[in-house]
């Protein structure tokens, strides 16, 4: 089944979601997040209640997050006709090399990461640089649920309901100068709690660094994320703050962000530095530009198994072409991979 992407303006799913699904979501919200969340539910449903059935409640929810939950705009952007990936898969099949190179390592090891207190540095070419406590950093923003496809460069994919806000909102607030041409994102380095950073897996020059061109970061689909599946972000998915850029390969989405720098030059990013022939700065999902070692024409939608491999064609810009193609008008996407 090939699903056309929905436009930003055309992506509310409430009109096609049976009430039972909405009610079941309500039960989940009531059960795991307490009454506060119910107040904010505008009656929009979710794609598949079964996808929320296996969500583990977070063991500790900081006040800044529970305060925000009551005003989340649910289902602000969604993916029509594609099932949401089970929570278990989204939280047990991860890439987060700081916690080890295997898909199960982040789930096993990231629990030890201390996400509170947390602060984020904003620096570089901005009028309002600063170091913010996370709760102050988040305070100004209206949180939204964004259900996005996530396409890893390794050719597997998921559909994940994130909770976050457009990074454009932050950019406007900190007043970039005329020389700010790119954003550079940096992940925490914690030698004590990140086995992948201490170990001999020294291929990567920590911290993990990612970047976006200013106009890409200003695009309304690019978000900073603090939650998933109606709850706070799991550590293995990049708590307490990560980037999600749905039209790009997953590696652009830096996790556990501690610094966002506004810079004049294109930042040297982690995977690009490691293997420049295989991973570029742009990393736009593109079925017609193969990775040197495998095709990108298809992907494995998780969960996938031997008897139901769940292979589907990869969509240009991961299905978001209508929204983002104009950012790359006139660019050779084969050269700028």
Q: Are 143 and 169 in contact (CB under 8 A)?
A: no
Cβ-proximal residues to 209 (8 Å cutoff; 6+ apart), any chain: 184, 185, 186, 187, 254, 267, 268, 269, 270
H-type alpha helices, 114-225: 134-138, 167-174, 195-198, 214-217
Provide, for the chain, the percentages of residues in helix, strand and coil under a 3-state DSSP scheme, each rounded to the nearest 5: 30, 25, 50
Does position 251 interact with Mo ion (CB under 5 A)? The reply is: yes
Nearest to 171 by CA among 225, 124, 217, 222: 217
Query: Least distance to Mo ion from the beta carbon of 209, Å?
Result: 15
Q: Which of residues 169-228 bind ligand MTE (CB under 6 A)?
A: 187, 208
Residue 97 binding target from Mo ion, ligand MTE, none, CB below 5 to 8 Å by type: ligand MTE
Nearest to 152 by CA among 215, 199, 85, 230: 85
Instruction: Tell whether residue 94 is among the known ligand binding residues.
Output: yes
Query: Least distance to ligand MTE from the beta carbon of 195, Å?
Result: 13
Does position 150 interact with ligand MTE (CB under 6 A)? The reply is: yes
Q: Which of residues 68-97 bind Mo ion (CB under 5 A)?
A: 95
Does position 318 interact with ligand MTE (CB under 6 A)? The reply is: no
The residue from 152, 232, 257, 260 that contacts Mo ion (CB under 5 A) is 152
The residue from 161, 211, 253, 267 that contacts ligand MTE (CB under 6 A) is 253
Tokens of residue 332, six digits: 């050779």
Cβ-proximal residues to 266 (8 Å cutoff; 6+ apart), any chain: 181, 182, 211, 213, 281
Instruction: Tell whether residue 78 is among the known ligand binding residues.
Output: no
Of the pair 28, 251, the CB lying nearest Mo ion is at 251
Element (H, E) at 52: helix 50-53
The residue from 124, 246, 250, 280 that contacts ligand MTE (CB under 6 A) is 250
Does position 250 interact with Mo ion (CB under 5 A)? The reply is: yes
Site string for ligand MTE, 93-112 (x = CB under 6 A): -xxxxx--------------
Annotated binding site for Mo-molybdopterin: 94, 97-98, 152, 187, 237, 242, 253-255
């Amino acid at each position: 089944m090939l699903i056309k992407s929905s436009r930003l303006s055309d992506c509310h799913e409430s009109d096609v979601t049976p009430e039972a699904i909405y009610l079941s979501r309500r039960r989940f919200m009531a059960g795991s997040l307490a009454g506060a969340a119910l107040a904010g539910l505008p009656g929009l449903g979710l794609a598949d209640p079964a996808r929320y059935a296996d969500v583990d409640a977070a063991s500790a929810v900081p006040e800044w997050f529970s305060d925000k939950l009551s005003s989340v705009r649910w289902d602000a952007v969604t993916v029509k006709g594609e099932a949401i990936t089970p929570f278990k898969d989204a939280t047990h099949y991860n890439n987060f090399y700081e916690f080890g190179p295997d898909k199960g390592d982040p789930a096993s090891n990231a629990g030890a990461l201390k996400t509170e207190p947390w602060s984020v540095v904003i620096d570089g070419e901005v009028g309002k640089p600063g170091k913010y406590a996370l709760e102050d950093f988040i305070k100004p923003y209206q949180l939204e649920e964004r259900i996005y496809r996530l396409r890893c460069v390794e050719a597997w994919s998921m559909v994940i309901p994130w909770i976050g806000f457009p990074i454009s909102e932050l950019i406007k607030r900190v007043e970039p100068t005329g020389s700010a041409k790119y954003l550079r994102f940096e992940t925490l380095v914690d030698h004590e709690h990140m086995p992948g950073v201490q170990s001999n897996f020294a291929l990567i020059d920590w911290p993990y660094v990612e970047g976006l061109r200013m106009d890409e970061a200003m695009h309304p689909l690019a978000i900073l994320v603090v939650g998933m599946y109606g709850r706070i972000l799991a550590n293995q998915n990049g708590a307490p703050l990560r980037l999600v850029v749905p039209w790009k390969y997953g590696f652009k989405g830096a996790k556990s962000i501690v610094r966002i720098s506004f810079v004049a030059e294109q930042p040297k990013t982690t995977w690009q530095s490691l293997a420049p022939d295989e991973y570029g700065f742009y990393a736009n999902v593109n079925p017609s530009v193969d990775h040197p070692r495998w095709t990108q024409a298809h992907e494995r939608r998780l969960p996938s198994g031997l008897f139901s491999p769940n292979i589907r064609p990869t969509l240009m810009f991961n299905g978001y072409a209508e929204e983002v193609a104009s950012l790359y008008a006139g660019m050779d996407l084969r050269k700028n991979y």
